[in-house]
Structures are given as C-alpha cells and as structure tokens.
Structure 1
Amino acid sequence: MSTQNNRQFAMRQETSKIHLGNTHQDYSSLFELAIFGVFVDALHVTLN
C-alpha cells in the first residue's frame, strides 16, 4: 500500500515538473486541439 502511494506521489511530481516546464506549450496545443476538434465536428455535420 505504501509503495503504491510512493509511486503515485513520484508520478505526480514528475507530471508537475513536466507541466511547469511546458505549461504554455501544453495550453497552446490544447487550444489548437480544441479548435481542430470543433472544426472536425462541424465538417462531419456539414458532410452528413
């Protein structure tokens, strides 16, 4: 149980490091992905 908690904590620390390093890049790519998803949805609606 404690080893699993330690592993989760380590993974959380790693992800927080990655987020701190690439926060701006992540948000911009997420924004682009959201716009792309909306565009694709609209395309599917117009095609159907």
Structure 2
Amino acid sequence: MLDIHPAAEALNGVKMELVDAAFRLLKGIVASTDAAEARKGVNVSIMVGGFPRK
C-alpha cells in the first residue's frame, strides 16, 4: 500500500485492520510512503483514490 507521508499513521492503521481480519489469502502487506518500496515486486496494482467530504 502506498500513501503520502502525512497519511502514514492512517496507512499503518489500515494495515493493522487487514492483518487483524486474518484473511486466509493475505500473505503479507507492505505499507509505505516510498513509491519505489511499495512497487517492489508488484505485477499488478489497483489505484484507489478518495477525498474527504466537505
């Protein structure tokens, strides 16, 4: 998972939620604010964007 540096704490929260859910097919998670680290070894990526409601 990749996000911007100001959202790093929230990104780690999402990572913890996914780990706690104990999905059988989830083998590991990389949560980073560094694009090169987040893309390492990736064949397919899904880009999801969102913006808080105002």
Q: TM-score, normalised by structure 1?
A: 0.38
Structure with greater proportional helix content: 1
Using the size of structure 2 for normalisation, the TM-score is 0.34
